[in-house]
Structure 1
Amino acid sequence: MTDAPARYRVFSPARLPGGKLVSVFSGAEGDLQARAAAAGTPLSVFVQDVNVSDVVLRVFTPTREKGESDSGAVAALASLSGRGELLDVADVQMGGDTTPAQLCGGEWLLRQGDVTVQAISADGVAERLGLPGVGAVHAARIARPNLAVELDSLEVLQNIPPDTEAVRALGLATDTSGLLLYVLGGVPKLGHAIASFRAFGPLRGFNEDAASSNMFACLVGVLGARGLLPEEAGLLRGLQLMPGHPARLTAQYVARSDGASDLWVGGSAAPDISALDSFNS
C-alpha cells in the first residue's frame, strides 16, 4: 500500500489561500504518474531518497513528469525538515540537476545564481501588448531569457488580460522565452514587497505562472541594474499577482552595480488548512 500525500501550500501570502498547492509523497514507489494524477493538486513531488544533507526528488504534474520545480522542492524540504530529516542546508537533486538549498528565517531558499541584465528599447512594446504605456524594459537571464517590462500602475498590472499570441510574438521578436510585467511596491493587504509582478511563458508551455522563482530572481537582477536594490539589506520580498492565486516570494542576494549575484529564492510552505479541515470533518 502506498502512502497518502501531505498537501502543502507554497509561497502563499499570510492568511490567504494563494501560492501553489503541492502534494508531497514520502516514497517513490509504484506508478508515480497515476499517483500524481489522483492527488488533486497541480504538482506532486516524490521523495526518492533523503539523508540529512541530500534529497532526491521526482516532480510530476497530473499529466507528465516535470523534471524540476522550485515550488515542489520547497514543499518537500518543508515537509522533511518539519520531521527532523534534514539539516538547515541541503543539496536537492531533481531532473538530473543538483541545486543547493538553505533554511533562512523559517523559509527554504534555492540557489538561482547570477543574473545577466541588459537594457533594451521600449519602442513598440506597449503597442504589441495592448498596454497604455510602459517604463523600463530589460532582458534578464538566469539560464533562461526573460523580458522584464515595467508598467505604469498596479491597476494595469492586476487587470491586464493576457494575450497569449501577443506574448509569444514579443518573445520571438526579442529572443526571450518569458515575459515579466512589474510595478514597484506591493499590495497593502498582501504585505510589504519591493515589487509586484506577473509572469507569462507560452514559449515555455504555460500561459501564466502563479509563482516563479526564476522570474523573481530575474526581476531582482533588473532592480539591481536600475540601482533600486537596498544596499544595506540582502533579503527582500516580492509579490506575484496571477489573478486568484497571489504569491509571496523571498530573495537573498548580493547587490551589484550592474545587477545582483549569488541569488537564492524561495518562501513559505505550510500544510494546506483546507485539506486538514476536509480530513477532520
Structure 2
Amino acid sequence: MDSLVVPTHYRVLSPPQAEGGKTVAVFPEAAGDLQARAAASGAPLSVFVEAVDAGSVTLRVFTPLKEKGSSDSGALAALAFLHGQGELLDVVDVRMGEEVLPAQLCGGEWLLRQGEVQVTQAPPVDLSPLGLEARSVQVASAGRPNLMVETSDTAALDALTPNAEAVAAVNRATGTTGLVLYAPGGPGRAEVSFRAFGPLRGFEEDAASSQMFACLVGALGAQGRLPEGTNLLRGAQRMPGTPARLTAQYAETGGGFEVWVGGSARRRDP
C-alpha cells in the first residue's frame, strides 16, 4: 500500500458539541518512515495499524518527536476507525509495544480494561501548599498509585492552579505518582468532575487520563458513592481550555473494582 496514504483524524474523548479531548491521526498501515509521517500528520498523536484481524489489532503510536509505547487515546481512535471499516468484533485485544489491553464496544463507545483498582487510606499529608481544603483523601492504584483528593465543589476545582513542584512534593510525601482532584457533578450529566496532575510522570496536567479516571472510580466505590442500578459512570475531565468526557464500566471484586474506561472517537478534518 502507498506509504503516503492520508491519515484519518479523530477527536477522542471530547464532550458532546465541544472541541476538547485529544486529536489523533489514524494510519491504516505501518509502512515507510513512521516517525516522519507522524511529524507531518498535523496531530499531536499518530497511530499506525501494524496488524489486524477480527479479534485483535497491533498498533504503533507516535508523537511528532518520538515513538510512544502505548496510548489509550490512540487505541480508541484506531478501534473506531477499524470498526467503522467492518474489520473488528465487538470484543478485541489491542497490542501496543509490550502491552496487551482487552477492549470492548459498549453503547457505541470503545472501553479499554484498566485493571483492578485497589484503594487504601492516605498517609497524613499537608495539602496547604496546593491551596486545597480536602473533603476526603485516599490512595488508589491500578498499577500506579494516585493521590485522590475531593474538593468542595466544581467551582473550587476549576479555580485551582496547583504548582507543579508542590504537586510533586505531595506525591513524594505520600508515595504516589499522580494527583487527582475531583468534585461531584459536572456538565452533560457527568456524575463527577476531575483534574489530573503528574509532574513525577513527566506532565503537569493531563487533558484526558483513562488510568487516573479508573482510580477515581475505585475511590468512589470504596466510599460507597457509585451510582445505584448501573455499572457505568461518566466523568468530566476539566483541564482549562481542553475539556474531556470519559465513560467507565466497573464491577466490584473481592479486593477492589475492575474498571474499563473509554469514550467517544469522532472523525474530524485535520
SS state at 2:95 partner: strand
**What is the CA-CA distance between 1:213 and the residue it aligns to?**
0.4
> Are 1:117 and 2:113 an aligned pair?
no
Which residue is 1:270 aligned to? Answer: 266
Q: Counterparts in 2 of 1:143-222, with a 5 A limit?
A: 143-187=143-187, 191-222=188-219
**Can you list the C-alpha shifts for 1:203-235, whole angstroms capped at 9, x where unaligned?**
111111110000000000000001101242111
Q: Counterparts in 2 of 1:33-72, with a 5 A limit?
A: 33-72=35-74
CA distance, structure 2, for counterparts of residue 179 and residue 154 of structure 1: 16
Which residue is 1:129 aligned to? Answer: 130
Normalised by the size of structure 2, how large is the TM-score? 0.96
* Alignment counterpart, residue 225 of structure 2, candidates 225, 228, 234: 228
Question: Given that residues 125 and 174 in structure 2 are in contact (C-alpha distance below 8 angstroms), is that contact kept between their aligned partners in structure 1?
Answer: no
CA distance, structure 2, for counterparts of residue 96 and residue 197 of structure 1: 30
SS state at 2:40 partner: helix
Aligned length: 268
Note the residue ranges of structure 1 that are not aligned, 5 or more in a row.
276-281
> Are 1:75 and 2:72 an aligned pair?
no
SS state at 2:218 partner: helix
Question: Given that residues 122 and 137 in structure 1 are in contact (C-alpha distance below 8 angstroms), is that contact kept between their aligned partners in structure 2?
Answer: no
CA distance, structure 2, for counterparts of residue 104 and residue 161 of structure 1: 35
CA distance, structure 1, for counterparts of residue 136 and residue 260 of structure 2: 24
**What is the CA-CA distance between 1:94 and the residue it aligns to?**
0.5
SS state at 2:227 partner: coil
TM superposition outliers: structure 1 runs of 4+ over 6 Å: none
CA distance, structure 1, for counterparts of residue 25 and residue 134 of structure 2: 38
Deviates more, 1:220-229 or 1:34-43: 34-43
**What is the CA-CA distance between 1:258 and the residue it aligns to?**
6.5
CA distance, structure 1, for counterparts of residue 69 and residue 179 of structure 2: 22
Deviates more, 1:32-41 or 1:138-147: 32-41
CA distance, structure 2, for counterparts of residue 240 and residue 257 of structure 1: 29
Q: Which amino acid aligns with 2:197?
A: F
Question: Given that residues 37 and 62 in structure 1 are in contact (C-alpha distance below 8 angstroms), is that contact kept between their aligned partners in structure 2?
Answer: yes
Note the residue ranges of structure 2 that are not aligned, 5 or more in a row.
none
Q: Percent identity?
A: 59
CA distance, structure 1, for counterparts of residue 217 and residue 193 of structure 2: 11
**Can you list the C-alpha shifts for 1:140-167, whole angstroms capped at 9, x where unaligned?**
0001111111111211211211311111
> Are 1:22 and 2:31 an aligned pair?
no
State the Cα RMSD in Å.
Answer: 1.4
Normalised by the size of structure 1, how large is the TM-score? 0.92
**What is the CA-CA distance between 1:257 and the residue it aligns to?**
8.7
**What is the CA-CA distance between 1:16 and the residue it aligns to?**
0.5
Question: Given that residues 140 and 219 in structure 2 are in contact (C-alpha distance below 8 angstroms), is that contact kept between their aligned partners in structure 1?
Answer: yes
Which residue is 2:92 aligned to? Answer: 90
**Can you list the C-alpha shifts for 1:104-144, whole angstroms capped at 9, x where unaligned?**
1000001111101012245412x12123x111011100011
CA distance, structure 1, for counterparts of residue 151 and residue 165 of structure 2: 19
The 1:256/1:96 distance shift into structure 2, 3 A limit, reads: closer
Question: Given that residues 125 and 170 in structure 2 are in contact (C-alpha distance below 8 angstroms), is that contact kept between their aligned partners in structure 1?
Answer: no
CA distance, structure 1, for counterparts of residue 254 and residue 101 of structure 2: 26
**What is the CA-CA distance between 1:31 and the residue it aligns to?**
1.2
CA distance, structure 1, for counterparts of residue 256 and residue 124 of structure 2: 19
